[in-house]
């Protein structure tokens, strides 16, 4: 087709290409990978300057129209997109508005300007400062509190701090590992026009925040020509007594008035930031005991974890939003036109300190499970012989062995089906620690 739209996808892999080709309008689109998926997915080493140079050269050499440049990943993909889009005249939000979401300290400061009652106490600190704990106390934060890098990547390097010992253990890990995020993030900051008080807090800094909690959820939305649209709320449910996620569930079971307030808060903050013509998701807590809604963080992309959920319930993956916006058009999301009333992504985890994987489910076993549970998809995350501690992007408490996507008629049915399925999902381990 001569008038096909050329869409460049950073880190395009086969799984995402298959999904993208099922979207509305895909018959008129040609997808091109930009930067190899292994450079942004299965690594914690990001040479952003080299990746930007490589992507720029590839786009400049392309013999055809460049109609959209998109991506679905968090850091480093999200932060490269506005730089590339500006260079090639593609509609996107500005780098500064994106950083007002992704730079955790800057984000909290702008949130505090318009929705202060929904923001925890916070302060930035330098983990290489031996007086860091004293400075956190001077900022009015006391045990327990939470620490995380200024630019976090998933749940990595996030810690709950209950005692001075916890803090010093966290500091030791942060000092050893924060550079893998901080150095490439600082490369991005060099491209931005930053206020002096933000420029002083670079990627090597961390955040300390008051502990917030409750029922966690995520609003998926977008801004198109200044209009903020929230099109779905996904619940994030954790394993009992730990921070690790158990499953994401859509649609949300939150009370309607709480959902409405969260949507209103989202509209307020995204307008204030000046975010435009891009997708986002905003994570919240509803603390039912205190009667408080807390904004946890803003992500500058759709959640890939939610794609299958929207497809099962609404009839189209929320990837539709990213592509439509990239092409400069209003997203064509449907509502409740899918095969299932509810859907979930389950994280099948082990709570070891470490272990070696000696067996994973076979292809035949997975095919049998997927036949027995219609609509089910199982994505195994480990390989035989792999040491769990080598897995990238894990939280501090567990390892995800498999992601299990299910659709059902109710929340109860989802849980019952998951229990039956996971009982047949055979993993084995050796050298188990803790």
CATH architecture assigned to 215-433: 2-Layer Sandwich (3.30)
Q: How far apart are the first and last CA of the chain?
A: 57
Cα gap 429→3, rounded to integer Å: 53
Region(s) of the chain under CATH 3.30.1490.20 = 121-210
Statement: residue 153 has pLDDT above 80: no
DSSP-derived secondary structure letter, 387: B
To the question of pTM greater than 0.85 for the whole model, the response is yes
Name the DSSP class of 353. Answer: S
Residue 397 has pLDDT above 90, yes or no: no
Mean pLDDT of 212-223: 97
What pLDDT is recorded for position 156? Answer: 76
Q: What is the pLDDT of residue 45?
A: 81
| Phi, psi of 226, deg, nearest 5 | 85, -5
Give the pLDDT confidence of 27-76 residue by residue, as tens digits: 999 999 999 998 887 677 889 999 999 999 999 999 999 999 999 988 88
What is the three-class DSSP state of 173? Answer: helix
Instruction: Tell me the pLDDT tens digit for each residue of 328-362.
Output: 999 989 999 999 999 999 999 999 989 999 999 99
Lowest mean pLDDT among 25-29, 239-243, 292-296, 317-321: 239-243
Mean pLDDT of the chain: 95
pLDDT at 41: 79
Contact 93, 82 (CB under 8 A): yes
Q: CATH 3.30.470.20 residue ranges in the chain?
A: 215-433
Give whichever of 149-158, 167-176, 389-398 has the largest mean pLDDT: 167-176
Question: How would residue 241 be classed by pLDDT, with cut points 50, 70 and 90?
Answer: confident
Residue 112 clears pLDDT 90, i.e. is over it: yes
Q: In what order do the strands lie in the sheet with 292-299?
A: 292-299, 278-287, 215-224, 227-238, 245-250, 342-350, 399-408, 377-380
The predicted pLDDT at position 1 comes to 45
For 73-81, what is the mean pLDDT? 92
The rounded distance, in Å, linking the Cα atoms of 242 and 240 is 6
Whether residue 376 is predicted with pLDDT greater than 70 in this model: the reply is yes
* Topology given in CATH for the domain delimited by 121-210: Dna Ligase; domain 1 (3.30.1490)
pLDDT of residue 411: 96
pLDDT over 70 (residue 155):
no
Q: Average pLDDT of 122-128?
A: 98
């Amino acid at each position: 087709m001569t008038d096909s739209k050329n869409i460049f996808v950073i880190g395009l892999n086969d799984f995402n290409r298959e999904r993208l080709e099922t979207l509305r309008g895909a018959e008129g689109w040609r997808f091109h990978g930009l930067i190899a998926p292994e450079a942004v997915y299965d690594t914690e080493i990001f040479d952003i300057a080299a990746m930007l140079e490589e992507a720029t050269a590839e786009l400049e050499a392309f013999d055809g129209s460049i109609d959209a440049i998109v991506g679905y990943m968090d850091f480093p993909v999200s932060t490269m997109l506005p730089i590339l889009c500006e260079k090639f005249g593609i509609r996107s939000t500005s780098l500064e508005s994106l950083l007002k979401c992704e730079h955790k300290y800057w984000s909290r400061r702008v949130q505090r300007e318009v929705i202060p009652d929904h923001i925890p106490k916070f302060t930035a600190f330098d983990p290489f400062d031996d007086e860091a704990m004293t400075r956190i106390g001077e900022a009015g934060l006391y045990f327990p509190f939470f620490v995380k890098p200024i630019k976090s990547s998933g749940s990595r390097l996030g810690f709950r701090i209950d005692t001075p010992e916890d803090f010093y253990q966290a500091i030791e890990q942060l000092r050893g590992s924060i550079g893998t995020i901080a150095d490439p993030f600082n490369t991005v900051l060099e491209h931005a026009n930053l206020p002096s008080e933000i420029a002083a807090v670079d990627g090597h800094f961390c955040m300390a925040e008051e502990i917030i909690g409750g029922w966690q959820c995520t609003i998926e939305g977008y801004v198109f020509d200044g209009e903020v649209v929230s099109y779905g709320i996904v619940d994030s449910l954790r394993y009992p007594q730990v921070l690790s996620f158990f499953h994401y569930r859509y649609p949300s079971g939150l009370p309607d008035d709480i959902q409405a307030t969260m949507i209103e808060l989202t509209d307020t903050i995204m307008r204030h930031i000046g975010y435009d013509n891009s997708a986002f998701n905003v994570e919240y807590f509803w603390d039912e005991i205190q009667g408080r809604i807390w904004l946890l963080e803003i992500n500058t992309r759709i959640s890939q974890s939610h794609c299958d959920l929207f497809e099962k319930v609404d009839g189209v993956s929320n990837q539709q939003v990213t592509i439509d916006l990239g092409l400069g058009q209003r997203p064509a999301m449907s509502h409740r036109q899918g095969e299932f009333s509810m859907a979930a992504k389950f994280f099948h985890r082990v709570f070891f300190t470490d272990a070696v994987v000696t067996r994973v489910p076979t292809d035949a076993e997975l095919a049998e499970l997927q036949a027995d549970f219609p609509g089910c998809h199982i994505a195994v995350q480990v390989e035989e012989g792999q040491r769990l501690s080598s897995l990238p992007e894990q939280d501090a408490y567990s390892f995800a062995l498999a992601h299990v996507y299910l659709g059902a008629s109710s929340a109860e049915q989802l849980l019952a089906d998951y229990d039956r399925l996971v009982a047949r999902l055979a993993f084995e381990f050796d050298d188990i620690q803790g």
